[in-house]
Structure 1
């Protein structure tokens, strides 16, 4: 018994691989293209582990995927691989269409051919699990009810539009061809190994360096925050007991404004790594700071910025018995501590190209 994971060197994918092998002896074939956000270092603890077979490659490489399927005969494919950052999709949507739409299409075609030739009972028990996002549902008003699985799709960014397209492809391959698919739509993840372009890791890394903490617009955009370990447990639950053709929303029941999130990060850092003790100075003024919140800086809002996301997770609770184990406070504390404990990891992922991108995105 083996599973094939795509994008298993990225943030959520690598956390899933590590969690899976910590709880199971079932091997994983891990296919990742190793773009800027894919990092083999996330998987360093698995070096020499025979249960983990890493392959660098593209989900759109049909010959490669065919070979992996034929060689390893997985009982399931878990599809994490995606371009996933809204800001990057605004500046360069081409990669998002190529990976999230074309790549998913080619993967579905290749997996369908493999699945159709499986003997019973392997054919009936096979699953294709597609990992998606709450952003496909669009934006909510302040008092609107949370997204359910029946909410219509209203994507507002190139990223969310590309993920919506991939969701529709997965659904169509089930209804047209019978491929036994499962789709999960998750809220904003955070936790270890998160590439520091997203809000929480960016704020932690910038604060410790005395850099400004850039907040879009008025900072009142609301997101539902999900600790990545909880997301991994939900995916395991859906894989084990989800019904083919069904979609399951996954969230943390932790709605926060972006400004409140940044303020809470600053408060935890004040507690765990006080700025005066670390000698942190404001990178622009050179003046020592007493509290990290002094670094908060408001910048121009990004185009088409969705105001609020919130997930109704009643279906996965009722049908599969899953619920998040972490509160936002407990998950954030674990996350901040991880970044404090892994400065070398942070330093190595912050290449010159990354620094140039941050300046382009948030610079005055």
Structure 2
């Protein structure tokens, strides 16, 4: 029986929402008939609501017009104003009808937030009516007792009855508001309990799922311990038949661990990766390293020689080094480095890492040799001056 009542209430709410959406769509279609495209009209709605606290997106407009969501009061006023600007006739007269449909849809909605919005709006409206009646009553009393003139006297009893009726209505609305807030709080608590139960169920499910893996890991560890013990017993029995100088401790069977059969290979230092590379790779990498060393050393020496010249380093020379010479030298060295790394292999290989290390060390050594050698080593200083002269910087 209760299920039938709920279905009836839901169908009534959907009907009122559909009536409200149909009325909005009718106004929207009338305005769209006077616009170039529907997209332009939606953009105008978005632009008009941009200065509001909560603007309306294109998705919101679609939901409102399709009856998927209940449009708020601001959207009704915005749509009517837009239709007036488009020249839609008799649209101002329908503003109150649209608001009446909106309030009916909000009151029939099952959403606590929408019902709360409707109740708060109705509460504000009744407060304004009470203020208006109170003002009229004060004016009537002032007219009667302040001036005492003749003429028709207002019906104070009727005004007082209207005021009492409005106060009673406000009390009813506030009660409905309290009930709606209580329902919203109850829904929030039920949601929190549901989420907590879902989290606990997920934890229990994860524990039950991971339990077999934990047991399997323990079994594998026990098997590993048994294998180690068996290997130690075999080594101890083997030592009985070996000379004393060839015997090993039971815990050092074959010099390896059963958990790492290739332990000796893993213990090999990674520095030998480049030494074990193919001969063409090593030749190319060393050739690139030599070229980079020569280029960087020569340019560094030329720069120091230019600085130590009699005229010193002029602004034009500095710009030539910064803009032309050094960028070209560094760019060429970078391209050579990339080619050497590509020849050395994939990024994950030890050979490529070793090749990069060799080139980086050669580059640092070349720069240091060029800067210091042009001061303390005459051959490097002579080569730097010759290169600077050839470049036209001396």
- TM value normalised by structure 1: 0.20
Structure having the larger proportion of residues in helix: 2
Q: Looking at CA atoms only, which structure, 1 or 2, has the larger radius of gyration?
A: 2
- TM value normalised by structure 2: 0.18
User: Greater relative contact order (Cα 8 A, min sep 6): structure 1 or 2?
Assistant: 1
